[in-house]
Amino acid sequence: MALDRWIALIFIAFCCVYGYAAFFTMDQLLPPFMQRNPVWPSTFPKLLAVLGCIVGVIVLLGIEKPQDEGEGNATDINYRRLSEYKTGQANALLVLMVAYALLLRPAGFLLATVGFLVLGSAILGERKFHIMIPVALCAAGGVWYLVQEVLGIFLRPFPFFLGV
């Protein structure tokens, strides 16, 4: 079986576990007044789980590929040449995502998000820091303003030790 189909099989398994959590465990703790709502907090996770399973099955069965395809295509993943792909960048981005999630509360939203955007851009190869930093500042500030002020959801903008 090709590498993309193995990945699709793992993705389907993940979506099934996620779907189980969304369908059977998330709605048990809802208060009675929310149980009559047409949209629950688990509605979007349920939709993601079902759509993820559908996409995974499409890839697993090979429906997305044209039928007149030859033995190999230039866009296929060749597991024998896995060392030629940029797996270092992908792993570095995964580590950066975990660090962002862990630093979000102690460092504050603005510092953690700006750091994530700048370091993520640098990992992907961007070297124009005079453009990256202002764009990251504007993006993080804009998202913080929308979430905090427009939606009214509290996000700690600065590190906890500043007391702001």
> According to the model, what pLDDT value does residue 126 have?
86
What is the rounded (10 degree) CA torsion for 29, 30, 32, 35? -130
What local confidence, expressed as pLDDT, does residue 75 receive?
A: 60
Residue 42 confidence (pLDDT):
77
Q: What pLDDT is attached to residue 6?
A: 85
Q: What pTM did the predictor assign?
A: 0.57
pLDDT at 95: 94
Query: Cα(78)–Cα(65) distance, rounded to whole angstroms?
Result: 16
Task: Output the pLDDT for position 161.
Answer: 67
Average confidence (pLDDT) per 10 residues, the chain, 164 residues: 82 92 80 75 87 91 68 62 77 93 89 93 90 93 88 77 64
DSSP state of 65: S
87-107 and 109-123 helices, crossing angle to 10°? 170
Say what the pLDDT of residue 86 is. Answer: 79
- The reported pLDDT for the residue numbered 122 is 92
pLDDT of residue 136: 93
User: CA-CA distances (angstroms) from residue 51 to 14, 19, 29, 46, 106?
Assistant: 12, 10, 25, 9, 34
What pLDDT sits at residue 79? 65
